[in-house]
A and B are shown apart, each in its own frame.
Chain A
Amino acid sequence: MSHSTLEETIASHETPGSQFYPRFVITPELEAEANDRISHYTVNKRSATLPLLHIVQHKFGYISAPSIEWVAAKLEIEPIKVLEVVTFYPGFRQSAPGKFHIRVCRTLSCAMGGSYELMERLCELTGIDRSASDSHHHPVSVSPCGKFSVEYAECLASCGSAPVCMVNDDFHECIAPEKAEELLAKY
């Protein structure tokens, strides 16, 4: 796949959150980290697709076309094989989220505990408009200033302390809707 085709295929667009994430650039540290991960899979390098994508997303906020090319080159596979993984897994994003990405659990126990209301409250407080989002193709909505973004997650596996959410890698439990303000104040 040529570079331009990949650019066209990937659902990447500028968001207010883009300002908080560096452009994809290959550094010796990135290479070293990737090589270490690849060494865990002696039979087939392709197994390192998910780990490498995690490294990219962690450092650059989302998976861009050049990063897909890089992962494909590292693993000696076609870029389409990386792209199909990126487009399948809800955990991989193709555009920048906010500086703080909030994932609210929407599955049964959390929904019963008020996670829909929590999401509404978070959007109200951060000025996020979720009307254009849908769970499959545009799950992430970014605030106008780019500081926050929200997304519904499916079961975060802490149903006993519902409702729960994650802010980047931090986990928060028992976040009733009225605690939304308190939660945001931490960031």
Chain B
Amino acid sequence: MDASARQNVKFQKIGFAKRAFLAIVLQTPSMITYTKQPHPKEYRLIFKNVDREGWDPSIDCYMRDGGYEDLKKAFSMQPKEITEEVKKSGLRGRGGAGFPTGMKWTFIPPNNTKPVYLICNGDESEPGTFKDRYILHQDPHQLVEGMVISCFAVGAHTAYIYIREEFPEAALIVERAIEEARAKNFLGTNVLGSGFDVEIYVHRGAGAYICGEETGLIESLEGKRPYPRIKPPYFPAALGLYMCPTIVNNVESLCHVKHIIRMGGDEYAKLGVARNTGTRILCVSGDVKNPGYFEVEVGKITMRELLYDMCGGPKDGREFKAVIPGGSSSKILKCEEKFKLKNPDGSERELDFWDIQMDFDTLAACGSMAGSGGVIVLDDTRKMSWVLNNLNAFYAHESCGQCTPCREGSTWMKKISDRLVEGTASPSDIDTLESVAYQIDGRTICAFGEASSWPVEAIIAKFRDELLADTKQENATIPHNPEEEAQRRFLQPV
């Protein structure tokens, strides 16, 4: 049973008197209770209502808690003012690239006469990431409210929520939320008497990772194979859905918009650290005692605090080995690594792995990225060849096949890592693997090329000796296919 359904059941199980009591109590924010208590170092903004006692995804529940008040506030502002607040807030996209949301909105050509579209990217599929799942299942109105505000800001009268196929229940919950919001005139025609019309529709994907790439998503929404488009010229803000200006934002990013309007851009920017503002949801999985989601101020906690204080440290008798910090596409970091970082004044400083602050800039300076916030932790029992092979299998399966380096390369990399796992690889295979990765990187239409090659490049750079230990020199003579097998007869000694 999924979390929200479980929530509902739990809600039904508690008696009427207690429910009435909860309904009163829950109106005071200080009295919020959760099925899993937030860690003291958490700062709940987007996940305020996730796994909250007595919470359900209905509009009544949402409005009892002050829902849609920020929408009313937004309609008292000018669209340009909203964009200005989002720019001031410093909000950076939560989907992976960390691009400033407000700036993205201003890329719509100023002399545009075509309709503008807003798309919510709910194709959450970066391995290690599981935040949007909770928002879509448990707090759909937060997203709808954020979307209507964003539509008003960018002048979009039609918006689509692209939900991955693997969230069938979420699609139903969000569609129900849209119906409820329409019935209360929070969307539809002449929203709250403002004269602004907006419709939101749910569009379900069909199990392809590449649809998380914004131009691939747009192709998919047009009913085609999701082959990403080349930029330039196809920047969605200018030439997106149906060749019209289109803003594509992540689920979490759009939810933040609502809070920016409530708090004001300057106030929101006080959360987090400079250039890395607000809160973000870190999803921790793998070899820790307490995996799960943690919403924190960006950059305010370190790797040590996250993995030891919040996640309870390694499992008994084990030691941390490496961490993939921002979804499977980000480069792996070794736990004993030290990084050389540049201070703003140009001097250098050394940063220990455990002191890395979980923000966009620090992780980028350490040679990885904050990505989508999916932290995958590996302990000393994990073999890197096995981890590498698992990731290669993912990327080989998900490459859309449009660009040759990625289509051929991702499959080739998987074949090599298959051999590593089977014990039939030779030492030169590692060099081949590395050269294949570097020949994909930077040579494809979309960022999938980097996504598939970065993990390989980083694992080889940091664990070459461990990988080499899984190879044997004599394996170099093993034929890999029937053709090679046939050619071998010429190599036999007479």
Contacts and interface: CB of A to CB of B under 8 A. Distances in A.
B201 interface: yes
B376 A108 contact: yes
B225 A44 contact: no
Interface stretch (B37-45, B216-224, B339-347, B473-481): B216-224
Interface in B275-292: 283-287, 291-292
B242 A84 contact: no
B203 A154 contact: no
A147 interface: no
A86 to B, nearest CB: 9
A24 interface: no
Interface string B216-249: 0000111111100000000000000010000000
A156 interface: yes
Interface in A39-55: 40, 42-44, 46-51, 53-54
A109 interface: yes
A170 to B, nearest CB: 7
B450 interface: no
B223 A109 contact: no
Contact of B208 (A88, A166, A169): A88
A159 B127 contact: yes
Contacts of B128: 108-109, 155, 159
A119 interface: no
A91 B205 contact: yes
Contacts of A54: 165, 204, 206
A160 B284 contact: yes
B223 A75 contact: yes
Contacts of A109: 127-128, 285-286, 376
Contacts of A162: 285, 291
Interface in A136-187: 136, 153-162, 166, 169-173
B224 to A, nearest CB: 7
Interface stretch (B144-152, B387-395, B433-441): B387-395
Given A154-B209, A159-B127, A47 B221 contact: yes
B125 interface: yes
B127 A155 contact: yes
Given A44-B242, A107-B328, A154-B398, A90 B207 contact: yes
Nearest to A57: B206
B328 A108 contact: yes
A135 interface: yes
Contacts of A51: 203-204
B251 to A, nearest CB: 11
B1 A170 contact: yes
A91 B169 CA distance: 15
B204 A159 contact: no
B126 interface: yes
A81 B397 CA distance: 22
Contacts of B225: 84-85, 88
Interface in B350-386: 374, 376, 378, 382
A157 B207 contact: no
The number of chain B residues touching the other chain, given as a range, is 35 or more
Nearest to B202: A40
A159 B169 contact: no
> Which among A75, A81, A171 has the greatest number of chain B C-beta atoms within 10 A?
A171
A21 interface: no
A89 to B, nearest CB: 4
A61 B425 CA distance: 42
B2 interface: yes
Interface string B167-185: 1110000000000000000
Contacts of A156: 166
B2 A112 contact: no
A128 interface: no
B268 interface: no
A170 B6 CA distance: 12
B448 interface: no
A43 B169 contact: no
Of A42, A84, A90, chain B has the most CB atoms within 10 Å of the CB of A90
B68 interface: no
Interface stretch (B52-60, B98-106, B129-137, B301-309): B129-137
B320 interface: no
Contacts of B284: 160
A92 interface: yes
B169 A157 contact: no
A172 B226 CA distance: 29
A107 B207 contact: no
B462 to A, nearest CB: 17
Contact of B206 (A44, A47, A91, A160): A91
B293 interface: yes
A6 interface: no
Contacts of A50: 203-206, 220, 223
A155 B224 CA distance: 23
B240 to A, nearest CB: 12
Contacts of A10: none
Given A54-B165, A108-B390, A161-B292, 6 more contacts: A44-B222, A91-B205, A109-B127, A112-B287, A156-B166, A160-B130
7 contacts: A46-B224, A50-B223, A51-B204, A88-B400, A108-B391, A112-B378, A153-B166
6 tightest CB-CB pairs across the interface, nearest first?
A: A91-B207, A91-B206, A159-B285, A49-B223, A89-B206, A109-B285
